[in-house]
Structure formats: structure tokens, C-alpha cells
Structure 1
Amino acid sequence: MKKIYQFLLFFLFSTLSHSQVILSLDDDRVYIDSIARITKNTHSDSIKSLYSFRLSKLYLMIQDANKSKEYLKEANRLKTKFPFLKDASIYYNSYSFLEKGDVDGFEKSLLEANAKLKKYNNTEAYRLRAIVLQNYGIMQQRKNNEKGYMKLLVNEAIPIAKKSQDYELVSGLYKAVAIILMNNNERQKASEYLNEAQDYIEKATKRSPTLVESKMETYIINAENLVELKHFYDAKKVLDKAYSKLEKFPESNLNDSYFYSEGIYYAKQNKFSEALKSFEKGIKSAEKHQNLIALNRLKFPEYEVYFKLKNYGKAKDNLEYLLKNTPFVVDKKNYYNELSKVYNALKDYDKAYFYSNKYSVINDSLNDTKFKSEIVELEAKYKKAENEKKITLLQSQNEKAALLVNNNRLNSVLFAVLSILLFLIVLFLWILNKNQKKLSFQKEINHQQELTALENQQKLSVSNALVEGEEVERRRIARDLHDGLGSMLSGLKIHLKLAGKENALSTAEVGVLLDDSIRELRNISQNLMPESLLKLSLEYALRDLCMANSNVKTSIEFQYLIKESHLPKNYEIVIYRIIQELLNNALKYANASQILVSCSQNKETFFITVEDNGIGFNVSESKSGMGLKNIKNRVGFLNGKLEIESVENKGTSVYIELKVKNEILNG
């Protein structure tokens, strides 16, 4: 019974391991007991049934056969009302065939489960189908159809597993493909699949009792393959990832294979003392876990190191141990050949000849057996083919007479039907194609009209916004003329009327009033259109603007990081107005002691940055202000982007990107 359950376990966890040894790291029973508690406390029969099916497999993993059967029985009792669970149960119950030794029944139930689950499009159905296909593939591999197994993995199991979003499962399937390639010495191709397996297992976050073990095993197998490819740097990185976890679990049987990979890593680089230490640790771990497969794997590379070190005594001991504990004739043949080399090095030529002869005898025997089996197989195939030909010939002769009468009549009827059908299909396709072209053409016209309407609407919106901004600007200038310059000129007029009277101003005082009026007029003129912008450049105009607005309370620093700029005047005016509005806002509301204005340009993009150390403001509450609207409209006019960052008592930063066309730059 124990052997049967080991066989069942091999299939149950075939996606997680390349051997029949169940890997362990931490205590899986804690996780399994938590699932059992959830199953016990739930009131939903569907959830209880699904979890009971899963628990039957989990208890099988920790070799508790009684619990496994108990939960399988409970799951089957509750499944009857739920179609999905009834179909899924075909897979979960399939292992009963293996328990009875009915391999054909197991295969048929796997195929039936896959066919039934195809109609479901949920992640659990995809997960189960991937596992079913993996197990069916293993059955093909056991029949020496390894190529068929690999096609099944690559073309069906892996794409379906990806739909399940179970990254641990996907990783295990990629790893299974890689192991097939490694067995066939396709190390480079195997490396590609192992990289995929490692990527998926590192992305896996779904809790599972086998997740950590799967991750460690993936690292170890990947490292082993990288060593064989002589990618030692990459192999060391992967080994370190595995060791960072394994060093906390010195009793884990994963150490059996880890120290094998670490040992060959050192051996391939001729670091023989380090290699022997690793092999020794691995051998002790494998002996403790009674893992004969791992022990034999470790003993052979250890032998190779001893042979290279000319320690022929220990090399001989390893080979004799392997001969004693290896059941496979093919492996024994290789060990005889290696023993022949050892005795030849020891100059014991009689024994060297003896083992060389044993190697030749087994090699010839294997070749002869293989040849005979091939002959027998070919003969059987030939006889079977001949018998099938005879049966087919007799059947065809009997049927030929009966069919000949009907063929002529059927041919004429079929030809007429097919001709009519073909004509109808061609007619239908022609009409469909014609209508499709008309529909496509009309859709294209509608699309273009929609784009044109949207573009016109956008232009109109920007134009309206600019007009609104200009109207606000006109009102401000009118206010400045009326309240500022108008008041000054009215006062001057009054004083001129009083000229010659006793309280009249002197000529000097009248001159001061005239100077103030002229200065106010220049300020208004400067705001309307700065003279430096018209006669000199944008840089000089902005520098004058910053200097004019600097005062004792607020210092304005100006940076112009452009060597040469060839913007047209209308672009420069918009840029000037944007910065002027930003400075007005900062001086009026920010209460800042320092303001930085920076301009730069990269190809077709003009950058503006204005920063202050003022009191800041809530950006979301200030989006509707007229000043900010004017800025946004002008930025929109130049197809630009506006970003404002403000923190209370830490200041405000405004970042603007404006698009400038190449032809304008080159003009």
C-alpha cells in the first residue's frame, strides 16, 4: 500500500518537483489545519465541497491517507448540487484507479475531466485542467513519449495555467519543460524555460503549502543548469538566493540538491576543496533523509573531483558504492568504465582490463538487446500492417460493389447542390464586402467630421478665452488710466488754474507733478507693450520686468538659460504676459521674500518656472480665479502644459511647457 501512495504522490505533485521525493522546508500541517478549520466553519456546501477536495490532496501530501479519504468522501457527498464540482470530481477521484493499479482507467478519467472542464471559464477550472494535462503528459513520458509530453506542456498546459493566474503552477510547468530539455542535453533552451519558471515563482504571492519549496527548487535547478552552461556569475547569484532561505532550515531535504548544485559550481571552476566540502554536506543531508537518488547524484561528482585530485582510493570507494546501490544497468555500465580508468591510473592493469571488459560486455548486450527488441517490434508492426491490409482489402471489395451503384447517382446530386451552394456563398460574400466597404467609408467620413468639429470647438473655446482675458486686461488698463494717470492730470489742471494766486504751487512743484504723470504713463505703456520686448528681445524685456517689480520686501531673481531663441513676436508676447501675470499674483498674494523666474528651451519645447517662498494656497480651490484663467488660456493657446504645486507656508511652484513649431524656430 505504501508503494501505491508514493506513486500517487508523484502524480499529485508532479508540477512541483522533478523527482519522486516530497520536498519540505517549514511545517505544512499548520497551513493545512487552517484550511480544515475554514472548511468546518463554512455554511456553503459548494465551498465546503471544493475545500474538501483540496484537503484530500493536501493530507495525501503529508502522507495521512485516512484523512485524505475522509475529506474525499465528504467532498463527493456535497458535490451533487453543483455541476462544476461534479465535473471537477472526475479529476479528484481519478487517483482511485492508480490505487487499484489501473493505469488505463487513470488516463481515461484524466481525458474525461479535461473534456468536462473545457466548458468553464473560471480560474479554478483553468488550474485543474493544467494539472490534469500535466499528469496525462507524465503518463505519456512513462511510455517513452517524452516529445509528446513536452508538446502537451508547451501547447496546452502552460497557456491554460496562465489563465488560472496561479503563478506557482505556471512556474512548475515551465520547470518541467526545462527538465526534459536538460535530460536531452539542450541546456541553452532549458535556461530560457528556467528563467521563465524563476520569474513566475518570484511573482507568486498566493499562499500555498508548497510555494517556498517550489521557489527553492527552481533556484537550485536553475543554478545547476547555469553551471553546466558555465555561466558561473549568474549561477552564484541564484545559489545565494536559495541559501538565504535554506540556511534557516538546516534539516530540510532541499539541502540534498542544493549542495549538489553548489558542489558542481565549485568543481567546474577547479575549486576542488570547496567542492568536496559542499558534496560532503549534501551526502550527510541525503543520508539523514534516506534520499538514495540524491545520494547517488552527489557521490558521482565527488568521485570526479577525487579522480582529478589523484585520490584514487576514495574515487574507487565512491564507484564501488554506486555499483552496489544502483539498480540501473545503464548506470552500472558507466561506473564499470570509470573503475577501469581508476585501476589503470593505479597501474593495476588486470582489474582495469576486468572492468573494461565488463563495460564492453554490458554495452554490447544493451546494443544487442536494443537491436533485437527493435527487430521484434518492427516484425510485429509489419505483421500487424499486413493483416490490416488484408482485412481492409476484403472489406473494400465487399463494399465496392454496393457503393459503385450509388456513387454515380450521388455524384450528380452532390455536384448540383455544391454548385448552388457555392454560387450563394460567393453572392453573399460579394454583397457583404460591398456593404462593408460602404459602411467603412461612411464611418471614416463621420470620424473626420467629428474630429473637425472637435478641433473647431477647441479653437473657438481658446479664442473666447483669449478675448475674455484681453477684455479683463482692457478694463485693468482703463482703471489704471482713470485712477492713476487721470487723477494726476486732474490735480495738475487744478494747480495750473490756481497759477498766480497766493496758494498756487511753484514751478518746481508743478514739474514734480508732471514727472509723476509721465512716469505713470510709462508704467501703463510698459504694461501694454514693453519697449524692450519690441526693440530688443524677450530676455531683456523679462529682465526689465523682474527688476521693475523687485523691491525692498521682495527680491526677484531672473534666469534665462537659452543661448539663442528665434521666436516670433506673438509667441514672445504670450510668454511675457504669462510671466507678468504670475509675478503679479506672487507679489499680490504670496507675501514672499524671494521669487525665482527661470526660462529654458529644448528643441520645440519652451519651459517656464516661477517659484516663491510665500504663504502658499490651496490649488484646488483657486482654479477658478481670473488671473489663473488668463494664464491657462495663454498656455492653451501655445498647446502647452501647466502644473502648479503649492504647500502652506512653504511657497508655490509653477511649471509650464509651451510647444514651439520647428518652422518657427528655424525662421
Structure 2
Amino acid sequence: MRAALILLALLFSVAAYAQTLQTDSLINLAKKEKNDSVKVARLYEIAKKYAAVSEPEMDRYFKEGMLLAQSKKLFTLYQQGMNDQAVQYLLKGKYDKALAITDTAVAAGIKNKVADEFARTYFVKTNIYYALKSYTESNRFAKMALAMYTQTNNKLRLGNVSQSIGNNHYALGEFDDALKYYYDASAFYEQAKAFDMQAQIYSNLGVMNVNLKNFDIAEGFYNKALAIYIKGKNANGELLTNYNIGALLHGQKKYKEAATVSEQTLRLSRSLQNKKVETSSLSVLASCFERLNDTAKAEYYFNELFTTLERYNDDESLVIAYNNYAMFISGLNQIDKAITYQYKAIAIARSEVGLKKYMHSLFSTLSSFYNAKNDYAQAFAYKDSQQIYKEAVINETSNNKLLELQTKYETQQKEGKILLLSKADSIKSLQILAQQSAIDRNLYSIAQQQLALAEDSILLFTQNEVILQGKLDASLKEEKINALTKEGLQKQLALQQEQAAAAQKRQVLYFLLIGTLLTSALVFLAFYQRSKKKQANAEALAQKNLLQSVLETEEKERSRIAKDLHDGIVQDLTSIKFNLQSAAQTAPGLLQEQIQTIFKAVDTAAKDVREISYQMMPLTLKELGLVKAIEELLGRSLAKNNIQHHFEHFGIEERLPEKIEVTVYRICQELVNNTIKHSGATEVSLLLQLRNNVLQLTYEDNGRGFNVATTQKGIGLNSLGSRVEMVKGSLEFDASAETGTTAYIRIPVS
């Protein structure tokens, strides 16, 4: 262990050294740069590379670049550094830090008068407040940025800001204002020839007009966006816009046209491997052909949808699809088939915590199916279940709304304080802009004076030319002197080159040594870990084999004892009963009563022995299979204890492997015994389903639950875990004193 830690420390040191070399190389590249503007840009580039690795290093290089820009009076680059740093914190989700940086940037922008980058500062603030869902505050800064970009006539930036304002109005539900700014953004993007951005705006306008029920206008915008995407060969944009058009036509009940568009969308989504659009298109197609009364095509697309959702393991969408299909075929008077698919939807929703929100709706639909069959008892029972789940969802929703209102109240208080501060900033900004205008007029006057001085400078230049000629003659003399020393400098240069070559050789040897040490360390560590893993695997395998041997031996012994009891003692007791009956017929009256008493005792003993034989190894499991054996187990064990039970099973059409059938039966037997002995339950529900080669068992009772984390495991729980592990399955408990116990068991079936 100590050796492994030393090796890890060595590896860490070498990795840190390599990182330091890379950092030094980047710093040296920046240090060698003579142009200050390029140097600042490179420092910002280094900072961005470190954004995902080390926040302190990122801040360090941004600071170094901004200090250099400030010292050289490169105010635009200085402003850019603060904007870039704020954007990095925005991307990290650290909004308070990003806002603090932009506050500093606003003060710098007012002071240094850098138009485009100052406007960008306000735009960065716009995006931060949008991320914080403070849409009103986001709009305030966006409009300040819009005013500044209008002065610089930056069409692309004007488009970006207008789109952001539109997004804010859309989020606030102010659709008319959102439309206005989306139209403006579209015009700016067209002038800037940013056609993909323009297409995105057209898509947004389409969505907006759908919300405003302007369907024809929405379709027009979608078609404009589609034309741009096709021309620009933007396949993803074409895919999403096609889907929006199909959904729009479906909403207008133009099912034939919607089906044509959705079939194109389906083909394109499969070529681009877009899972979400593929499944959504299948759902739209199934709905279209259902409403066109084309039962064959509706069935085809529903089955395609089921297969696709199962392949993608999208259980939530599968629950919705099964429910929609059940309602579809119920309209065709296929009520029994509809009930089967509704049970499938319920089984999936019940087995996953996140899907229980659908339970009340699923039970309500199932109740209507039984009502259509005139099975009013079942309809009433499932209506009662629907009400229970509905109340649970309402309680959860109410709690969430209370939390949301509290958060909204606290956010509004903060926004109020920010708004007061922002008003003061705006007043200062106007005052400074007025001062800036006066300064610009003074600068114009100074420029005229400088022009006059430039004319005088031309005369001085002529005089300086004569002086420079004299200096040129002197430099020629110095060149002759330098030629004499050139030979000495060449010798010195050769010596320096030899020293550099020697240093390079030493560096190569040093790296070779580090590489050798690193390789040796990796080989040793790999060998150590492999040996340790091999030993652990051997121990685990031995323990698993021992456990399997014990359980197999136990099953064989159970089977032997059950056979001995059934073929031996039970037969003997039966023979004794016949003999007693025969003796009772000829015995005197008093003796006849005694014989009847003995007969009853023998009969009771025979039944008890037969029950013990059944518990040891039920004949039904061997001859009829798992499903019939479980039905008999529940009937025999729970009925005599006045416990109601519900047993449902899906997908088990054939016999399962003997080992799995015996294991699942023993698990059910242990769960039933626990319910009878410990829970005090009055109702038990058991669901058994085979899906995607996985056997899923869900067992619920309404008795007293137990704390899974704190309850000490006894023989029963340990036996359950061992049996599940033996068939490579998984076991989970969900138990509480109020809701009873639920066991989830999953076993792979090859």
C-alpha cells in the first residue's frame, strides 16, 4: 500500500511538472511578443484555456492582460478583458461574480469611452439577468446596449440585442412587444447577411404566432426559415423547422398535410440520428392516421413508436404512448386489448418513482374501460385508486407552488434594490455623455491648432535633413570599426551554440530519465493492481460458488424431504385413517367415539404433513410453472390469514429456466411469510412482468413497513439477498410505517 502511494505521488509530481512546462511555454510565447495589443490578446486566450481547468489561473492571466492594456492605454482591450472574464463566470453559472465584474466594467466604460465594448458590457449584463430569470432587469440593460450599438451602426450586434429583448418579452408573456423586437432583429440580421440567425428569428416568430393563434402567419414564417436552412445546407435547422410545420398542421386539423410533412421529418431525423425528433414525429404520424381513420397505418406507427421508445429506454414517453394507443383501440371497441396496454402503462409508471405523477390519469382511463365493459366493481375500484393518486399529486403541487411563491417574493425584493441602484447609474451615464460631447468639441478645436503646427514642422524637417546627412557620414565610419570586431563576435557565437547543444543534450537525458521512471512506475502499479484485483475476484468467486452450492444443496434436500414426506408419512397416515374407518364400523358405541377422535387427530396430522411437503417443494411449480405456483402460493397462504391479494403478470408466455423459477418462487414465499408474520397487512399486490429479457417483480403490502437502513438483517432478508445475487439480479426496498413495504426485484433472463 505504501509503495502504491509513493508511486501515485511520483505520477502526480511528473504530471504537475508537465503542466508547468506547458504553462511556462505559453507564458514565454506571450513575453516574447513585442506588439502590446497582440500580447494582451494572447494573455486573454491563455485565460480562456484555463477557464475549465483552474479558476485562479484564469483570473491571473485576465488580470495580467488587463493591467498591461490599462498601462498602455489600450482601453478597448481593457474593456474586452473584463467582458470576456464576466462571460466565463456566466458560463460557469457564477452569476454574482459575473455581475460584480460587469459593474466594474460599466464604470471603466463610462470613464474610457470605448463604444462597442462598452455596449457589449451592457449586453453581457443582459444575458446574466436573463439566466437569473430577471427578465425586466435584463430588458433594461439590453435597451441601453441597443442605444449604444445604434450609434456605432453594428448591424449584427443590433440583431443580437433585439433578439434578446424579444426573448425577455416572450418570457414575460408580452407577445406583442416580443413580435416587434423579433421583426427588428430579422431586419438587422438580413442587413448583416447573418442568414442562419435570421432563420432562427423566423422560427421564433412562427412559435410566437402559434401562441397568438395566427396560424397562417406562423406557417409563413416557418417556410421562410426552412428556405434559408435549405439554401444554407443547415440540416439540423431544416429538421426542426419541418417538425414545427408538421405540428402546426396537426394543430390546425390538417392531418393529411401534417402526415406528409411528418414522414419527411421522420426520414431526416433518422439520417441525423436525432432521437427526440424521431419519436415525436412517430407520435404525430400515429395521431394523424388515427384521426384520418386509417387504422392500419395508425397501428403501424404506434408499433414503430413502441419499438423506438423501448430501444431508447424512454419509459416516460412509453407510458404516454401506451395510454394513447389504449384510448385509440378502445374507440374501435377492442376494450380487452385496451385494458392490456393500459396495464402495461401502469406497470411502468408504478415501477419508477418519477412516473407516479401519471398514475391518477392512467387509473381514471382504466376505470372508464371497465365501465364500458359493464364491470362496475372494477371500474369503481380503479376510480378509487385514481382519486388517491390525484390527491397525492395535488399535495405535492401545492407544496411546490408555496416554495415558488416564496422564492419569487425574495427575488422581487432583490430586483427592487437593484432597480434603485441602476436608476442612479443611468443618471450618471447621461451626465458623463453630456461632458463627453463638450470634450469632443474642444478636441476638434485642438485638432485645427495642431494642423497649423504641422505646417511649421515641414520647414524644420528640411533643416533636419542636412543634420541627418552629417550623422550618416559618421555612421559609415562606425561601420568600418564594427567590421573589425565582427570576427571576434562570430567566435563568441560559435561558443554559445556549442553550450546550447550541450544543454539540449542534458535536457533530453533528463526527459529520458523521467520517462523511464514513469514507465517503471506505471508497470509496477498496473502489476500491483492486477494482482490485488485478481485476488479479490478469486475470493468473491469462491464465496459466490460456496453460496450457490449451499442454496443448491438446500433445494435438493428440500425436494428429497418433500418427496419422503409425501410418499412415506402421508401415505402411512392415509392408511391409518382407512383402518380406523373400518374399525369404527364394527366397534361398540363408546369405543366408536374414541376411534372418531383418533381419526380426526390423524386427519389433522396428515394435512399438516402435506402442507409441510408443499412448502418444501410445491408440485405445481414443477408441473405447471412459476405463474400457477405463485397464484397457488398466494391463495393458500394469504386467504387463511384474511389478507386480500392482487396478482398481475405480463410477457411470460413460456416456461423460464428452472433455476430462475425456483429462485423467484422462494423469494415470493419469503416475502409472503414476512407479510404474514410481521407487517399486519390486509392487502398484498404482486406484479410480475418480462420485458427486454429482464424479469421484474414488484411486491407491495399495506402493513407496517421498516427502515431499510437501520433494521438489522435477519435470516429472511439475508436469504432474499443471497438468492437474488445468485441469479445476478438486484433487490431494492421502499418501506415506511405509513405506506407499508414495496420490494423491487430485477433478474436478467438469457
State the TM-score, normalized to the length of structure 1.
0.48
Structure number with higher helix proportion: 2
State the TM-score, normalized to the length of structure 2.
0.44
